[in-house]
Amino acid sequence: MARATTTQRKALNTALAWGVGLLIFFPILWTILTSFKTEAQAIADPPVFLFFDWTLENYAAVQERSNYGRFLWNSVVIAGGSTLLGILIAVPAAWSMAFVPSNRTKDILLWMLSTKMLPAVGVLYPIYLIFIKMGLLDSKLGLVVVLMLINLPIIIWMLYTYFKEIPGEILEAARMDGASLREEVLYILTPMAIPGIASTLLLNVILAWNEAFWTLNLAAAKAAPLTAFIASYSSPEGLFYAKLSAASTMAIAPILILGWFSQKQLVSGLTFGAVK
Amino acid sequence: MGRITLDKVSKRFGDVEVIPPLDLTIEDGEFTVFVGPSGCGKSTLLRLIAGLEDTSGGQIRIDKQDATHVPPAKRGLAMVFQSYALYPTMSVRENIAFGLKIRGMPKDEIQQEVERVADLLQISALLDKKPARLSGGQQQRVAMGRALARRPKIYLFDEPLSNLDAKLRADAREDLLELHRRVGTTTIYVTHDQVEAMTMGDLIVILKDGEIQQVGSPMEVYQQPANKFVGSFIGSPAMNFIDGIIKNGEFIAPGINIDLNAKDRIVDGLEVSLGIRPEDIAINHGNIEAIVIVTEPLGSETIIHVQMGETSLVTKHPSMTTLQTGEKITLQFKSDKIVLFDKATDYPVNI
């Protein structure tokens, strides 16, 4: 039986959804607002919300003090690189788990996910040592590899669920048609999984973009991405909330815009298979 | 050529033996139907022949060549799947052309071949559409087209019509047979529908629990079932079975006494099941007494369920009747249509 939805109920639901949405968005909004305040207004008590002297001086100061472009470029390379590398490894892995599962496939999936349950700091020391030995400290390559490994379980899990939805008979038909494994994955599976792969890519770029623990610990200057750019403004010399906010706003702007334009894709991808 | 020989082919999944070693030969140009209830191993057998599953033992030969470990595409087969398995991201044209492209056929030849197949199946108007925009019947044709385009030695069909509605299925069945008559290629057709098996097959292979129960023409399996299972599986309504005992060449069961004229040929005291098809029981003849339970008038014929002592039987009467529930009638079994099965071995007993 369909539930009766009254107008009143709908209005209530809408208000509730907006409320929750705003609550989640509020810290970001507050950061953006603060970035346009003077340092004095930023720490004013009671806080000012909209009626302050809007200023761009923080952005100018941030631009002057650090090279935003270089950090941005590092972020793009690290987030993009780790995502692409991850997809290249995850597609065959998810293919084998989805279409030629063994008795242990479920265990492997769970085991992979369990690595995400370990506090990252627990393996910081060994990884740091490995990085020193291999000369990967403060290199983009090192960060690409680490972030790829960190997010790989999630990429494989997501692709695995998408691939599970693809009927095996279609791949068998391709095999009967004479397609090699490479051709089967390239011409049949991948085009069918494009929506799933796209949302996996997006989510992973966002995760890698925002990843702070490893990027802060393994990079100092040369390879430092935007997370380090933000961190450099919470300095021991004193708190500069307005400048910190300006730096944060600049750091999240690209990913926010990317997320905004791809939200439809992202939502449909994340709820894929959830509603039948 | 397209002759298939299965030599002690078997298949096990883990510890479960789904197909015990079996032998089967399918001659070139034959239309063979694998039929059986779900879970009987018919699809697995087809997939073994296709090469989509590895055999656990035995040898598959195609035209005298050992194909047991040859990859699917190199066996010279084409398969039509139950779900059609069309490539959803490709147009109909690309679907049909895919196998040819993979094999490196020149573009203009592919073009020609696609058009030939599209003509044959009357799907030329659909060539630029995506599969999702086609009806079930059209999708089925495209799936056939994809198989035809490769000009294989052997066609494999895995319940290709089971997703169509009844009317469309009858049409598609006819088209398929017509096509087979024209191209004459060896075909293996898997179905759970015994009507499809009877109407389409030159040769019917009846399977149960992975074992071949009988191989024969539709008439052979209908008239001389190799065991009780075949008798009850082939034909609708199913064959009637009555358990009884042989005495002095007569079949004896509670309330029934049928002289088989086989006095010296059947051992006295043998426990048997007597099988008789519904249409081989004549009504209001003979001396077997029964009571009408239900009549199902189908227009051209009437199915009559009767009770005979403790046994219920189904009979088929070739016209309308005025019989009422509860009415007393007499039955006669056409003696030349009676089959007997040894209860102990399930083998037929010669009368």
DSSP B238: P
Tell me the C-alpha distance between B99 and B240, whole Å. Answer: 49
How much is the average pLDDT of A110-119?
86
In Å, the largest CA–CA distance within chain B is 77
Sheet holding B16-26, edge to edge: B16-26, B4-13, B57-62, B65-66
Q: Could you tell me the two tokens for A160?
A: 């695995």
pLDDT at B101: 93
Give the number of other Cβ atoms within 10 Å of residue B106's Cβ. 9
Residues of B in Cβ contact (< 8 Å) with A167: 83, 85
Q: Where are the alpha helices (DSSP H) in B262-323?
A: none
Task: Look at residue A275 and tell me whether its pLDDT is greater than 50.
Answer: no
Nearest in space to A176 (alpha carbons), one of B105, B45, B99 = B99
Tell me the C-alpha distance between B12 and B285, whole Å. Answer: 52
Grouped pLDDT means (10 residues each) for chain B, 351 residues: 90 90 93 93 93 93 92 90 92 94 92 92 91 90 90 91 86 88 91 91 93 94 93 91 89 84 80 93 86 90 89 88 88 90 89 77
Give the model confidence (pLDDT) of A116-142 as tens digits. 888 888 888 998 999 899 988 888 899
C-alpha count within 13 angstroms, C-beta hemisphere, residue A236 = 0
The domain segmentation of chain B, as residue ranges, is: 4-233, 240-349
Give the model confidence (pLDDT) of A219-241 as tens digits. 877 888 888 888 887 766 667 78
Pick the residue of B98, B130, B139 with the most A CBs within 10 A to test the interface with A by mutation: B98
Give the model confidence (pLDDT) of A158-174 as tens digits. 999 889 888 889 999 99
Give the number of other Cβ atoms within 10 Å of residue B148's Cβ. 23
- Decide if the complex's ipTM is over 0.85: no
Nearest CA in chain B to A172: B52
pLDDT at A3: 61
Tell me the C-alpha distance between B85 and B99, whole Å. Answer: 14
Angle at A203 between CA A198 and CA A207, to 5 degrees: 145
Give the number of other Cβ atoms within 10 Å of residue A56's Cβ. 11
DSSP A166: S
pLDDT at A82: 94
Task: Look at residue A218 and tell me whether its pLDDT is greater than 90.
Answer: no
Give the model confidence (pLDDT) of A54-101 as tens digits. 888 888 888 888 788 888 999 999 999 999 999 999 999 999 999 888
Tell me the C-alpha distance between B350 and B329, whole Å. Answer: 30
pLDDT at A238: 64
Omega into B237 within 30° of 0, i.e. cis? yes
Give the model confidence (pLDDT) of A12-64 as tens digits. 999 999 999 999 999 999 889 888 988 878 777 777 777 777 888 888 888 88
Sorting pLDDT into bands at 50, 70 and 90, what band is A276? very low
Nearest in space to B154 (alpha carbons), one of B302, B27, B23, B293 = B27
Task: Look at residue A103 and tell me whether its pLDDT is greater than 90.
Answer: no
pLDDT at A217: 86
Which residues does B contribute to its contact with A (CB < 8 Å)? 50, 52, 71-74, 77-79, 81-83, 85-89, 98-99, 102-103, 146, 150
Tell me the C-alpha distance between B60 and B69, whole Å. Answer: 9
Residues in A 178-217 with any Cβ partner in B closer than 8 A: 178-179, 183, 187-188, 191-192, 194
- Of A170, A179, A191, nearest to B85 by CB-CB distance is A170
CB distance B34 to B188 below 8 Å:
yes
Topology (CATH level 3) of domain B240-349: OB fold (Dihydrolipoamide Acetyltransferase, E2P) (2.40.50)
C-alpha count within 13 angstroms, C-beta hemisphere, residue B61 = 13
Q: What's B4-233's CATH class? A: alpha beta
In Å, the largest CA–CA distance within chain A is 73
Pick the residue of A162, A165, A175, A176 with the most B CBs within 10 A to test the interface with B by mutation: A176
Give the model confidence (pLDDT) of A242-258 as tens digits. 888 888 899 888 888 88
